[in-house]
Structure 1
Amino acid sequence: MAEHTFIVTKTCPICGEETRIVKLKSRIIAERTDEDFCVHYKDFNPYFYHIWFCEHCGFAADEKHFLAPMPARHKEKIRDFLKNRQLGLEFTEHRGVPEAVASYKLAIFYAGMLDATFAHRAGLELHLAWVYRDAGDEEHEREAMEHAAALYDQSIMKENYPQGAMTDNMVIYLIGAIYYRLGDYEKATQYLSRIIGDNNMRSMEPKTFDRARDLWQTIRERKEADGQG
């Protein structure tokens, strides 16, 4: 596993202790990408290590939010919660599914506590779904995807875009892709049609338009094959 990872130490933004963090080496071979942007890699799953956590106090977040300056009121809120609680995960350089799931659930919990954006919380839920997908746990994968879709829907209604590399149209496509994987073709088509029905999308965001058109066509063909067309 050391061929893919290495250990560094970082200062926890909550307790101030030095904690060990597993980081990824850059060269990991991708094999394919699912409709909802889940990338499958050869012999290794980097999503297991997406969340950093403090082995002392139990705070967990993705790298960006672990390292970002945090308002004092947020630190105080988490410290108050952690008083007399032991939430620290045992450090291990090699994470399996249980450790990966536990890290995401902690990160999702803290993101909710700090009223993080809907988009950020949705992304954590979607990554958790990808961990379950890798494990073949369809029931929990569906649950996490449903949470992600609902949060992304709230995000496009209430939050401003772009957020990082994500545009609102990419999120609309992503919701459609999630519903496609959930087998809800009607909802998937509703979201995808918002993109392919926009004449400006082909020139403004051609990649998103092409993805939406191709997935819409796939759904149409599946419905016809099932006698629903």
Structure 2
Amino acid sequence: MSDNKIFSGLEHVGFKDSDLKDLSLYEKEKKAIEDAKKTSPSSLLYEKTIVCPVCETTFKQLALKSNSYRMISKDSDFFIRYATINPYFYDVYVCEHCGYSALKVDFNKISEKQKESVISNISTKFKSRTYPKEYNLSIAIERYKLALLNATYINSKSSTKAMICLKIAWMYRLSEDNNSAELEKSFLKSSLEGFNVALEKESMPVYKMNTFLLMYLIGELNRRLENYDTALSWFSRVITTPGVSTNLKELTRTQRDLIKETLEQQNAAKEESTEISTDDIDSNEDSTKSNKGFFSKLFGE
């Protein structure tokens, strides 16, 4: 149906077809999509000067210009999908001199003891490489894994390692490789392990998540890993805890209901499989009786 026909029939309330002929239902949205296609991702980037807190040398880091990206949607574990350019690709700083790497929000949060660990465990083996003027998915994964390697050697907080693992899982979610789904689950599992420790040992908030948000995320990661009983337990805690926002409770109820639907479907499939199996047994028994009768007549039994 053309846009000028959508509003037909409103003549009696004052709106003639001729007055609405130039009105487009999704004009702004279409224009935004076309503009995004025309925009070169590299035009949304600039080189930022960074001073490494470990080796104290200066290096250039690609960064996004303010308001240069547009959100498309948000997954239930807080992964945001973007149009034109993906900010996650530029979320890790890597010092090209010593190899120190971290999420940009954590880059300067390093102690003297941790610096020594970077120098002895990372810098002695690190081989600098030249990155292109625009990062792709494989480069983003490489940089996140460098950050995770550093975080492991310097014994960063569990929440830090968990967040890096979560973002690596998100990157594999974007991948179309054959083993990407398996790798996503592997890093979700590592992320879940770290966030469980963080909730028990660390002060909140962590990465802008308060206790309730982290409880929800732990439940959601369990759901995605098909640990349904554990997920339901966490979701129940979020829903019944006083002080949790209405929006978070609604989101939690939605994810809880997804689990219930999944379990109902699984139970229905099991029952159907059991019925088919029972029918096969009955059919085999009838066949055996028929064959026995045939051979009895043949051999005079």
Is residue 104–residue 124 contact of structure 1 (8 Å, CA) maintained in 2?
A: yes
**Displacement of 1:228 after TM fit?**
6.2
The normalised TM-score by structure 1 is 0.90
Question: For the residues of structure 1 that align with 2:117 and 2:196, how far apart are their CA atoms?
Answer: 28
Residues 71-220 of structure 1: matches in 2 within 5 Å?
71-82=111-122, 84-136=124-176, 137-198=180-241, 200-201=242-243, 204-220=244-260
Structure with the bigger percentage of helix: 2
Residue aligned with 1:55, SS: coil
Question: For the residues of structure 1 that align with 2:193 and 2:98, how far apart are their CA atoms?
Answer: 30
Residue aligned with 2:73, SS: strand
Question: For the residues of structure 1 that align with 2:70 and 2:62, how far apart are their CA atoms?
Answer: 19
Is residue 216–residue 234 contact of structure 2 (8 Å, CA) maintained in 1?
A: yes
Is residue 101–residue 128 contact of structure 1 (8 Å, CA) maintained in 2?
A: yes
- Counterpart in the other structure of 2:49: 9
Aligned residues: 225
The normalised TM-score by structure 2 is 0.69
Question: For the residues of structure 1 that align with 2:268 and 2:161, how far apart are their CA atoms?
Answer: 35
Question: For the residues of structure 2 that align with 1:91 and 1:56, how far apart are their CA atoms?
Answer: 13
Encode CA deviations 1:107-155: one digit per residue, 9 max, x unaligned.
1111122221111111111011111111131111111100001110111
Question: For the residues of structure 2 that align with 1:84 and 1:123, how far apart are their CA atoms?
Answer: 26
How much identity, in percent, do the aligned residues show?
A: 25
Match of 2:72 among 31, 35, 38: 31
- Counterpart in the other structure of 1:21: 61
Encode CA deviations 1:74-119: one digit per residue, 9 max, x unaligned.
2122112245322434332211222111111111111122221111
Q: 1:161 to 1:228 in 2, by over 3 A?
A: farther
Q: 1:83 to 1:34 in 2, by over 3 A?
A: closer
- Cα RMSD of the aligned pairs, angstroms, is 1.9
